[in-house]
Structure 1
Amino acid sequence: MLSEPTAFTLGSIIYAKTRENKQLIRAGFLSSAPSWNWSRQFRNFHPEWDGVRFLFSEQIESCDVLFVYDAVPGNSAFKVRAKHRVFIASEPSSVKSYLPSFLNQFDRVLTTDQNTKHLNVVFSQLGLPWLVGAWDSDGKLLDQPLGYSDFEQFSPAKTKHLSIVTSNKAFTEGHRARLAFADRIKAYFGSDVDVFGRGINGFADKLEVLAPYRYHIAIENSTSSNYWTEKLADPFLTLTYPIYHGCPNILEYFPAQSVTQINILNPDDAIQKIKKIIDSDEAERALPHLQEARKLVLNDHNLFAILAKLANELASETIPQDRGRPYRLKPERSFQPRFAKLGNAGKRLSRRLTKSLTRFFEH
């Protein structure tokens, strides 16, 4: 591991320098979830990857490359000086399409949406953040969640059989299909499956619904190519064999022996596949492949491994001299037509009113 860096200024760009005289690329990272402990995805919580030092602060003023994940935080524009600006579009096209005028603020866009309108689009899986091991028993974010180094050696005892996580959310077709399939699973397997989820059978952290289980049914809300989430990464981190519905080309990312794919839109076939798997010793036989999949989650398909690779590629590019000047970065709402802003405000008011009425009638 590199030693602790010191900072120095060269021209108008600030660099980090280690005692080994290596210049570190300074990468600013902004997101719609600033309170999330992003450092958990680094070894020993040290936010450095392959010569790139990541800076997690909403007060970033200068960096070599700025990464913006999901959204520009806050409701107003701010100035930042960076040679490169990169946006990570974390939502699939079935959930959200980002405004082209908003995306034009960035030099590159990382996305799985093939319809994204931008001059420099990088189509790739995005290494979306893990959720397992982040909350305490009261459902509050841990100050020191489980991180990279914890999961690297994690080997929980498998004392339970099969779990599935769903919820009573039904906003999208994916949500509704998942909820309907969970009902079928419960009806067929009965006490052989533990069903968890918001509004169904609550839990504080996914560690409870993954670590002790041999098998887990993981269902994405989207079936887009290259788009997969913590719904698959979390079982791999806990060495729980996933029975998976989602990304159709998932075997391009993980060993075939580490996962079984199902299609919940063909529930009878999916249920028979699940029954065959859980009646076998597949989870035990697959352990070496689960361990390999976990290494891939930690090292290759980690969000910051992906961003560090891109940062190194960008650092080698020749860019115009004025690229490092301060740039006024605006949130997406700044690019919405006025009537759309009013419509969004109305939706927010409607949601608040619905919640208030619900609480009133429940009491």
Structure 2
Amino acid sequence: LYIKPMQEILDQKEFPKTKMLSTICSAKQHTHTMHKKRYDLTRYLADRLPELDWFGHGIREIENKTVAMDDYKYHLCVENHLEPHHWTEKLSDAFVAMTLPFYAGDPLATECFPQESFIPIPLDNPQKALEIIRKAMEDGEYEKRLPAIRAARRLVLEKYNMFAQTAAVIHNHRETGTIRPGAMLKGRHVLRKNPLNALRELADTLAYKIRSRGRRGTGTGA
């Protein structure tokens, strides 16, 4: 498995695209997360868009995400959690591969990336999402938006990568507070081994679902 060095990624100038549209979405359909809605939207679009190549665990296995992105102009990105200022590698990986994302996720993503660098689609309205995707591909939006996609890619590689963000947090602590000796960064899978952390995550998940229902009830949900 070949992993490109960072400098090679930064220096890449040409991005040949021979295919149209792809997505990475597993067969998971958990109802306590957004997995089922994500799967249902992807299933609806895959049944109606012959251009869509669907990859993911339980669907079409791949060893490296580049297989599902590098050759494609467009990439369908659907988050498993919808909240302002919450975007994940689903969006950033698409930018690194120089694709134009059709994005169902962070409603404030334009505060981090150029507005023209991705195309929002609704998670809860598959028919509307289909219309948006078809029109964008027919109108050649990929070619029109290349400068914005390049700008978003540069932001991911130089500003939003883990090392740059960690350095920014450390710098901010040095300016405004103190750093606890021996502090460590831990992933969520490690943290879940502590029962208290698992309970906190469960509480956060329940609180999110309650807030989401409240927004839908008032007509302010995305």
TM above 0.5: yes
- Give the 3 Å change call, closer, same or farther, for CA 333–221 of structure 1 in structure 2: closer
Q: Distance in 2 between matches of 1:268 and 1:318?
A: 50
The structure whose residues are more often helix, as a share, is 2
1:229-256, Cα deviation, whole Å (9 max, x unpaired): 1100111001111010111100111111
Gaps of 5+ in 1: 1-135, 137-141, 341-363
Question: Is the partner of 1:217 in helix, strand or coil?
Answer: strand
Deviations 1:28-54 (A, max 9, x none): xxxxxxxxxxxxxxxxxxxxxxxxxxx
Distance 2:156 2:133 in 1: 24
**Residue 176 of structure 1 aligns with which residue?**
36
Correspondence for 1:152: 10
Q: Which residue of 1 aligns with 2:152?
A: 293
Deviation at 1:319, TM superposition (A): 5.2
Aligned residues of 1:215 and 1:243 also touching (Cα < 8 A):
yes
Q: Which residue of 2 aligns with 1:10?
A: none
Name whichever structure is richer in strand by fraction: 1
Q: Which amino acid aligns with 1:238?
A: A
> What fraction of aligned residue pairs are identical, expressed as a percent?
31
2-structure distance, mates of 1:334, 1:219: 28
Which residues of 2 match residues 315-354 of structure 1 at below 5 A?
A: 315-317=174-176, 324=181, 332=191, 336=195
1:177 shift after superposition:
0.8
RMSD: 2.6
Shift in Å, 1:181: 1.1
Q: CA deviation at 1:314?
A: 2.3
Deviations 1:75-116 (A, max 9, x none): xxxxxxxxxxxxxxxxxxxxxxxxxxxxxxxxxxxxxxxxxx
The amino acid across from 2:45 in the alignment is I
Q: Which has the larger radius of gyration?
A: 1
Match of 2:80 in 1: 221
Change (3 A) 1:333 1:152: closer
Where does the alignment leave 5 or more consecutive residues of structure 2 unmatched? 200-222
Could you say which structure has the greater relative contact order, defined with CA pairs below 8 angstroms and 6 or more residues apart?
1
In the TM superposition, residue 150 of structure 1 has moved relative to its aligned partner by 2.2
Q: Which residue is 1:268 aligned to?
A: 127
How far apart, in 2, do the equivalents of 1:336 and 1:263 lie? 36
1:185 paired residue number: 45
| 1:188 CA drift (Å) | 1.0
**How far 1:335 moved relative to its partner?**
5.6
Question: Following the alignment from structure 1 to structure 2, what is the Cα–Cα distance between the partners of residues 215 and 207?
Answer: 13
TM-score, length-scaled by structure 1? 0.49
- One-letter code aligned to 2:55: F
**Contact kept in structure 2, 1:168 and 1:200, CA below 8 Å:** yes
1:243–1:259: 8 Å Cα contact kept in structure 2? Answer: yes
Query: SS in structure 2 opposite 1:276?
Result: helix
Determine if contact 1:151/1:238 at 8 Å carries over to the other structure.
Answer: no
